[in-house]
Structure 1
Amino acid sequence: MTTNKVSIIIPCYNALPFIKETLDCVFNQTYKNIEVIIVDDGSTDGTLEFLKTLSSPNLIVKPNSGKGACAARNYGFKLSSGAYLQFLDADDLLSLDKIEKQVNDLDLLSNHVSVCSTAHFYHEPEHGIITDHDFLYSTESPKDFLINLYGANGKDYNMVQTSAWLTPRAVIEKAGLWDETLSKDQDGEFFCRVVVNAQGVSYQPEVKNYYRKHVAGENIANQKQRRHLESQFRAIESKLNQLKILENTVAYKNAFALQYKLLAIDAYPEFKDIYKMAITNSKALGGSSYEPVLGGNIIEIVKVTFGWKKAKIFKLFLHQIKDLIKSK
């Protein structure tokens, strides 16, 4: 039986409503050789005070106020001693045998990373929806795995959520730590480097990661501020460069033309300078015919009739009207 320790690193900020459930799923893992490192980023809701009441020989709680989730993960990594690393967000959950089965896979493979499917849920994890089956598989060609994930056919793409991975320390040390300057897609950029530096990907279909979605759209993936879009732009550039060995392939051009167009769609019309840079880069790679789904029937009719840009302007106008009505 393996004796490899797993370090579970949890960045935490104002997670008091969720952290107990997250820790229950961690300490009830069937794999027991773990250490749990929680790095609090300046919580103001009593999270840190609650964490300080917990007592366990394999629990480390440290403050790292106001430096962000990436800095918290890097600090946690420096404190860790495990052969494998599990990054886990403070409001997410893992199936109770996730770590055990992924460790069993990695113990048989040299410098591979393990991944599982993610169920997206709001309240009950058992009702979560999985959308990533077609993009996850075991392979000795990690770069091709990433290109397929990003959209090798130019239209179908997906993402792997942070907590779905289990990663050997040696692979992370080779790839480098989290980029603390990024505020969006920092996990995609980090795990691109990790997967590129691995010898292969092992997909474990029997376990799950449960990603909690928030009704108010508080997840980083839902944020559209300028700094988030600029971060997304830099993350795409990093991925593009990491996979440059494939730059002459159709799959590479399709995938990154699509990724730049997705960013252009996100940026339009509020941030037209970012839109122009992203759409120019997309066209330089051959362009993308991808058409977004923007909303309800009326928005979709506008899109079909006048194009997605006009539909986005109309959608923004409707939101502004609603906000104006609410403010009165």
Structure 2
Amino acid sequence: MPVYNGEKFLAEAIESVLSQSFQDFELICVNDGSTDGSQQIIDSFLDSRLKRLSQTNAGQASARNCGIKFCKGNLISFLDQDDVYLPTCIEERVKYFHKSDSYSFIYNDFMIIDKNSTVVNPSVLKWRKTKSISGKCFNELFLNGTFISPSSVMMEKEIFDKIGLFDETLWGADDYDLWLRISYYYSIGFVPSPLNKYRVHSQNFSKNNSIMENRTALAILKAVENFPDVDKLVGKREMKKRLYQVCFDTAYSNLKVGDLNPAYYWLKKAWHWGRKPKTLLILVATKYFGALVGKYYSRKASE
């Protein structure tokens, strides 16, 4: 559990783990340089299964990596500081592993709750109106983005020996990058029961669209660079279409907040993958009339 200034929801998150029906686990809380009362909340739980680590603030990915290196178990789950496990969460995940030898990584359906812990939707699958996805999932993840929440996964620790840890340079999309790497090498299992609660509130990092889209685009480009057969796996046309769209959308997000340099960078990438006249027009306008273009898109975003 990576922790950074999470005092508002942290006690509920920790309690949801310590009260699990499955008892044979260690909960590793990594305090990532919190400046609020998070450490005091962690220390208030007098349970031998709770392990306490601290580091200077380095980001969520770094905190997760710190916990991974410390853990002793062969199965690893994650829980964000504002999310909650249902009482049988770990038990059901472990049962799934025991039932099937086909998967080294699984994820489950989950509920959505608000800042008051009220259930907004009892199933993310029904909310998104999508079907469960399992097996070879790389194509789906690459072409359509992530459908896996970090708090909904369990995986064998040895996976990290093969693919490495969370990429700390991709904070905000470090989980998506990891899922892409895992799905390239491994089949993924899906547990249909909602086993955890994902909290939506005003402080969710994922609400910062500009940063998220920049990091997501970098994660996708990283996958193309690291896996040269992506064009064969997903189809060359589909790959170029995906790369164009994510680069263009990222440029647009940067234009809306007035970040012209990254906008120009992503427009060049979009032009490379799409060669669309509209993209070239915005690219040239951004280069020579950046201030005006920035004002135009900022005003458009506020309308």
Does residue 137 (structure 1) correspond to residue 122 (structure 2)? The answer is no
Q: 1:106 to 1:247 in 2, by over 3 A?
A: same
The DSSP-based 3-state class of the residue aligned with 2:167 is coil
Residue in structure 1 matched with residue 119 of structure 2 by the alignment: 126
Contact 1:122-1:214 within 8 A present in 2 as well: yes
The DSSP-based 3-state class of the residue aligned with 1:247 is helix
The DSSP-based 3-state class of the residue aligned with 1:136 is coil
The DSSP-based 3-state class of the residue aligned with 1:134 is coil
Residue in structure 1 matched with residue 230 of structure 2 by the alignment: 246
Residue in structure 2 matched with residue 78 of structure 1 by the alignment: 69
What is the one-letter code of the residue matched to 2:205? Answer: I
Contact 1:97-1:207 within 8 A present in 2 as well: no
Superposed, which structure 2 residues align to 1:15-94 within 5 Å? 15-94=6-85
Contact 2:10-2:41 within 8 A present in 1 as well: no
What is the one-letter code of the residue matched to 1:182? Answer: L
Does residue 194 (structure 1) correspond to residue 182 (structure 2)? The answer is yes
Residue in structure 2 matched with residue 281 of structure 1 by the alignment: 269
Q: CA deviation at 1:40?
A: 0.4
Residue in structure 2 matched with residue 221 of structure 1 by the alignment: 206
How far, CA to CA, are the matches of 1:66 and 1:178 in structure 2? 16
Residue in structure 1 matched with residue 220 of structure 2 by the alignment: 236
Q: CA deviation at 1:220?
A: 1.9
Contact 1:136-1:203 within 8 A present in 2 as well: yes
Once the two structures are superposed, residues 103-162 of structure 1 have per-residue CA deviations (whole angstroms, 9 ceiling, x without a partner) of 2222322443111234333233422372445263221x2322323533xxxxxxx54221
Q: CA deviation at 1:205?
A: 1.0
Q: CA deviation at 1:61?
A: 0.9
1:103 aligns with one of 94, 97, 101? 94
Residue in structure 2 matched with residue 112 of structure 1 by the alignment: 104
Once the two structures are superposed, residues 7-50 of structure 1 have per-residue CA deviations (whole angstroms, 9 ceiling, x without a partner) of xxx01011112111111211222222211000101222221022
Does residue 168 (structure 1) correspond to residue 156 (structure 2)? The answer is yes
Residue in structure 1 matched with residue 141 of structure 2 by the alignment: 146
Once the two structures are superposed, residues 280-308 of structure 1 have per-residue CA deviations (whole angstroms, 9 ceiling, x without a partner) of 333433479xxxxxxxxxxxxxxxxxxxx
TM-score (norm 1): 0.75
How far, CA to CA, are the matches of 1:101 and 1:311 in structure 2? 52
How far, CA to CA, are the matches of 1:287 and 1:29 in structure 2? 54
Alignment gaps of 5+ in structure 1: 1-9, 151-157, 289-308, 319-328
Residue in structure 2 matched with residue 294 of structure 1 by the alignment: none
CA RMSD of superposed structures (Å): 2.8
Contact 1:118-1:164 within 8 A present in 2 as well: yes
Q: 1:94 to 1:239 in 2, by over 3 A?
A: farther
Q: CA deviation at 1:310?
A: 8.9
Q: CA deviation at 1:272?
A: 2.7
Once the two structures are superposed, residues 219-247 of structure 1 have per-residue CA deviations (whole angstroms, 9 ceiling, x without a partner) of 22222567x66544432322333454131
Which has a greater percent of helix?
A: 2
2:171 aligns with one of 172, 183, 197? 183
